[in-house]
Amino acid sequence: MTNEGQPWVSLVVRKTRLQVSQDPSLNYEYLPMVGMKSFIQASLELLLGKHNQAIVEKRVRHRVKIGAFKLGAQFLRTWHRNSQVVCIVSCQKELYGLVFQDMGFIVYEYSIWSPQELCSDPGRFFEVIEHIPADSILVIGNIVDCRLTQSQWAKLMSTIKSKRIFPFFDVPCQGLATGDLEEDVRLLRYFVSLGFEFFCSQSLSKNFGIYGVVWRREQGNGELSCLLCILKLIWGLYYSAFCYCNKIPEMINLKRRKKQSLKAVVENIMLVKEKVKEKLRLLGTPGSWNHITEQSGTHGYLELNHQQVEFLIKKKHIYIPKNSRINFTCINARNIDYITQSIHEAVMLTQ
């Protein structure tokens, strides 16, 4: 957000938008149901890397989608019938849980956040994998927030494979966690390198200001049947995607201008977190607030209790989820004093 409370759009996107508007080849016809080929290629290269073997060997299927989770859930309901249970990280349950519930899945939530340590706890993630039923679907949110080493992921993958758990990754804002497009999806690419089959919802709305996509890595026979099923679902859900939005990432030079733009955004988010922490310290707010700056990405846990969250909502009209996970991109020079003062009052009144 800008200081005026408007959505922030990077300079590179603004320039590209002008180029698109002046493109003589742009028309108002529907795109093919599977989307624009050049956009699909650009999105896959962004997610997996330009020379990824899975792309070279055409082992990846990519679908343009408004509401990627709904398309993925519908496909899994049809083709992954052994799966009755979906486990979703708690911060995403309100957002995506209803999608799976509407499809007839039993939805459970899990959390890897440790309120005692005020950080993500890899041990909690291992416990989730150990206890969920075989053939379940596991929705994994921000991969960077899992804070697992590659050796821990290798151990985890072994369990996932033996229990036939189907991973459904969510990459909501690639590049905005660490400021590095490749680092944010390093573990995802590791999954691909080991030959795992999974879904991934890749949203480009936060870092490009456009819609998202979903893709699946296919293996073995039956690929044509799967493709026909996806096409049928797309036809029933939304028919076709927008040409205008698809052309923006296709035309952006990701290796140079976009990386510079993302770095500036991440640095600004880190600065906002530092300011929030410092203002709470100056106000004398009880407790340690180091966990604010130790979390990566656009969102982070304030670690407020239910009563404190209720105070912010009802008395201060600051609307955050029950788990107190706040979007730091919504904090700017105009509202930071009010927000930090309100947090201070919430903590003091409930001591």
Convert the pLDDT of each residue in 183-224 to its tens digit.
888 878 888 888 888 888 877 777 665 433 344 444 444 554
Handedness of CA 237, 239, 244, 248 (dihedral sign): positive
Q: Model-level pTM greater than 0.85?
A: no
Phi/psi region, residue 142 (left: phi>0; alpha: psi -120 to 50; beta: rest), is: beta
- pLDDT, residue 272, reads 94
Cα 219 to Cα 242: distance, rounded to the nearest angstrom: 29
Q: Which two tokens stand for residue 300?
A: 């982070």
Same fold, 11-252 and 255-349: no
Domain residue ranges in the chain: 11-252, 255-349
- pLDDT, residue 62, reads 55
Query: Where residue 286 falls among pLDDT bands split at 50, 70, 90?
Result: very high
Q: Which residue has the tokens 């899990």?
A: 110
Computed over every residue of the chain, the mean pLDDT equals 77
How many CA within 13 A on the CB side of residue 121? 13
Convert the pLDDT of each residue in 43-101 to its tens digit.
777 777 777 777 766 666 555 444 677 888 888 888 777 788 999 887 777 777 888 88
DSSP assignment letter at 155: H
Query: Where residue 1 falls among pLDDT bands split at 50, 70, 90?
Result: low
Single out the residue of 329, 327, 336, 204 nearest to residue 267, CA to CA: 329
- pLDDT, residue 32, reads 64
Q: Cβ distance 143 to 188 under 8 Å?
A: yes
Q: Which residue has the tokens 């073997």?
A: 53
Query: Where residue 273 falls among pLDDT bands split at 50, 70, 90?
Result: very high
Query: Where residue 235 falls among pLDDT bands split at 50, 70, 90?
Result: very low
- pLDDT, residue 162, reads 92
Convert the pLDDT of each residue in 132-159 to its tens digit.
899 999 988 765 666 677 788 788 888 9
Exposure string (b/e) for 257-275, b if CB count within 10 Å is 16 or more?
bbbebbeebbeebeebbeb
Cα 114 to Cα 112: distance, rounded to the nearest angstrom: 6
Q: Which residue has the higher pLDDT, 248 or 274?
A: 274
CA 270 → CA 259, 260, 299, distances in Å?
Answer: 17, 16, 11
Task: Tell which CATH architecture fits domain 11-252.
Answer: 3-Layer(aba) Sandwich (3.40)
Decide: helix, strand or coil at residue 69. helix
Inter-helix orientation angle 336-349/306-314, to 10°: 130
CATH of domain 255-349: 3.90.1150.10
- pLDDT, residue 199, reads 86
